């Protein structure tokens, strides 16, 4: 079993290096001309599935993987630590232009955790881009499948709840790898360095915690009637639609703001020279992509009879991204800082009547972030006027 997992990881690398590659230009470049070259991630998922399928046909005990999750998680954590240490040592000789904005503090522990180099690479192989999705997501699907097989061996057939959890999460993973290019416009790529935080998240947190629903169902089977299953399918479909539509709109805008699909959307010009979307999906709710994420996560968790943990985790991610965006785009804070609710339709709209306090204090949900005084001027624009950079 360990050899199969190792072969799956090596297969991902081979697909990225040897497959017919596509060259992507990304916002991850802090200097013009940085490109990421890699074969399609969905291809790695399909080839890994074929490899595992062949293994099962020749007698591979896939269900035995469920008994190895704890030692595998330990090995993955150790791997992430050693990998991060090597990345930190590599960053010590990297040019200043290659360093991440937040991981170059001079504090070794802090920089090791956040990542000192923005896009560590050897040749055209980008370590952060490769690890961002492929190993963790494919391992997540593999663990889920092993749990499903183990339940079939224990009880004769997988439960309806186990089928739903596997199906919902496979759709999520397949979509992420199919649209792998879109990761180039995310803050993980454009802002965060590649250190222990991301390495642990990619290689450990994703596969071993995102599979908790399937792990729970193996040891605590839950009855699920067909009407409830149908409602969960509808909920997941709604969440997936919001998630995919919002992310596609954001990615299209970041790649080409003149694209006809997004050219008419309202934006805020910022002091950095970039534009921020404030209409379309991004005018209805502050984080529409995370809203879709939370709806899907709720559909994944309700078959287990629990949901609070996923809401807390989703809220933490929203607050983390709020802090990062506020640091780079003060005008975004000025537009949203006086509003109390985040995942609420319409909370991005600024008018004189809902301006609230005349200044925005330090963010209560991000205590380490000290925001500047953003008192609106007497001629502060309404939602129907052109926004000027601060």
Cα–Cα distance measured from residue 124 to residue 26, given in angstroms and rounded to the nearest whole number: 13
Higher pLDDT, 238 or 375: 238
Q: What is the pLDDT of residue 14?
A: 55
Does 71 or 22 have the greater pLDDT score? 71
Q: In the structure, what pLDDT confidence band is assigned to residue 366 with cuts at 50, 70 and 90?
A: very low
Percent of the chain with pLDDT over 90: 38
The torsion angles phi and psi of 128, rounded to 5 degrees, stand at -70, -45
Query: How far apart, in whole angstroms, are the C-alpha atoms of residue 291 and residue 105?
Result: 33
Give the model's pLDDT for residue 5. 53
Distance of CA 150 to the CA centre of its chain: 29
- CA 362 vs. chain centroid, Å, equals 26
Burial status of residue 50 (CB atoms within 10 A of its CB: 0-12, 13-18, 19 or more): exposed
pLDDT for 115 equals: 92
* pLDDT tens digits along 108-165: 999 999 999 999 988 888 899 889 989 999 999 999 999 999 999 999 999 999 999 9
pLDDT tens, position by position, 279-324? 888 888 878 888 999 999 999 999 988 654 454 444 445 444 554 4
Residue 203's pLDDT is 94
Residue percentage of the chain with pLDDT more than 70: 68
pLDDT band, residue 228 (cuts 50/70/90):
very high
User: pLDDT averaged over the chain?
Assistant: 75
């Amino acid at each position: 079993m360990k050899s199969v997992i190792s072969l799956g990881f090596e297969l991902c690398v081979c697909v990225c290096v040897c497959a017919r590659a596509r060259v992507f230009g990304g916002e991850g470049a802090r200097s013009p001309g940085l490109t990421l070259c890699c074969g399609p991630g969905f291809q790695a998922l399909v080839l890994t599935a074929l490899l595992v399928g062949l293994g099962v046909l020749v007698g591979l005990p896939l269900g035995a993987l469920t008994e190895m999750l704890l030692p595998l998680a330990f090995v993955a954590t150790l791997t992430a630590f050693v990998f991060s240490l090597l990345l930190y040592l590599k960053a010590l000789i990297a040019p200043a232009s290659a360093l991440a904005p937040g991981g170059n503090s001079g504090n070794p522990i802090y920089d090791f955790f956040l990542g000192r180099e923005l896009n560590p690479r050897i040749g055209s192989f980008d370590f952060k881009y490769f690890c961002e999705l492929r190993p963790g997501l494919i391992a997540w699907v593999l663990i889920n499948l092993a749990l499903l097989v183990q339940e079939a061996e224990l009880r004769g057939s997988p439960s309806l709840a186990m089928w739903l959890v596997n199906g919902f999460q496979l759709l999520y993973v397949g979509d992420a790898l199919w649209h792998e290019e879109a990761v180039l416009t995310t803050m993980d790529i454009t802002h965060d360095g590649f250190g222990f935080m991301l390495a642990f998240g990619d290689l450990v947190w994703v596969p071993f915690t995102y599979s908790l629903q399937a792990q729970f169902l193996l040891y605590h089977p839950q009855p699920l009637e067909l009407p409830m299953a149908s409602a969960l399918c509808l909920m997941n479909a709604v969440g997936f639609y919001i998630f995919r539509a919002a992310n596609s709109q954001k990615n299209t805008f970041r790649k080409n703001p003149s694209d006809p699909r997004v050219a008419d959307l309202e934006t805020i010009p910022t002091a950095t020279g970039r534009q921020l979307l404030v209409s379309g999906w991004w005018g209805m709710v502050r984080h529409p992509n995370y809203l879709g994420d939370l709806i899907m996560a709720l559909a994944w968790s309700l078959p287990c009879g629990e949901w609070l943990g996923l809401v807390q985790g989703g809220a933490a991610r929203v607050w983390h991204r709020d802090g990062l965006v506020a640091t780079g785009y003060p005008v975004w804070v000025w537009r949203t800082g006086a509003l109390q609710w985040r995942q609420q339709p319409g909370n991005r709209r600024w008018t004189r009547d809902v301006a609230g306090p005349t200044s925005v204090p330090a963010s209560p949900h991000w205590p380490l972030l000290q925001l500047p005084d953003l008192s609106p001027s007497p001629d502060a624009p309404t939602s129907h006027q052109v926004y000027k950079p601060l």
